[in-house]
């Protein structure tokens, strides 16, 4: 998966059409919520620090371009969430990656099975069926020595994307 390079202009809104170009590895999740939708489905909202670029200056240390973002999955069903902080410090959890598999039933209905694997704490997983998503950057990326933004720098989540 490709990330935007530091020279690229920041993309403010991305959808499922750009899925193959996106990488959520090491993105931190500060909040999540579920909003009821029609027909037993829901909207899943994640407040994340999206890493738009990884930089490696000459000193060998990494730096990151990080933007607060709202990642929203629509028409979610068959939702499962597993996260266990036993033995670990509690804080924002980090994403290992997001995968999806296209499914087509006998009637021709298509959707995706999404798997969001959690790096920290280890072994966590968010899994659900759905179709569409949208990610919106709430501020331009800022250079950081960390993969997440300091709370004082983060633009707060203002609602769904």
Q: What tens digit of pLDDT does each residue of 82-116 get? A: 999 999 999 999 999 999 999 998 888 899 999 99
∠ CA(140), CA(143), CA(148), 5° rounding? Answer: 90
Q: What is the DSSP string of 46-110?
A: EEEEEEEEEE--TTS--EEEEEEEEEEEEEEEEEEEE---TTS--S-EEEEEEEEEEEE-TT--E
For residue 4, name the pLDDT band (cuts at 50, 70, 90). very low
Q: What tens digit of pLDDT does each residue of 54-76 get? A: 998 777 788 999 999 999 999 99
Residue 45 tokens read as 């909202």
The reported pLDDT for the residue numbered 158 is: 57
Residue 108 tokens read as 């021709």
CA separation for the pair 103, 80 (Å, rounded): 18
For residue 151, name the pLDDT band (cuts at 50, 70, 90). confident
User: What secondary structure letter does DSSP report for 153?
Assistant: T
Look up the pTM and report it.
0.86
Q: What tens digit of pLDDT does each residue of 12-39 get? A: 788 888 898 999 999 999 999 999 999 9
């Amino acid at each position: 998966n490709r990330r935007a390079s530091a020279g690229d202009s920041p993309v403010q809104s991305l959808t499922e059409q750009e899925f193959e170009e996106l990488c959520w590895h090491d993105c931190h999740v500060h909040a999540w919520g579920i909003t009821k939708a029609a027909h037993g489905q829901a909207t899943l909202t994640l407040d994340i620090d999206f890493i738009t670029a990884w930089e490696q200056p000459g000193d060998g240390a990494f730096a990151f371009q990080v933007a607060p973002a709202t990642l929203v999955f629509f028409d979610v069903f068959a939702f499962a969430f597993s996260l266990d902080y036993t033995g670990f410090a509690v804080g924002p959890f980090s994403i290992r990656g997001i995968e999806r598999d296209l499914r087509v039933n006998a009637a021709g209905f298509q959707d995706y099975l999404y798997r969001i694997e959690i790096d920290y704490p280890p072994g966590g997983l968010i899994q659900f069926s759905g179709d569409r998503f949208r990610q919106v950057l709430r501020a331009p990326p800022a250079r950081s020595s960390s993969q997440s933004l300091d709370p004082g720098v983060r633009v707060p989540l203002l609602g769904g994307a």
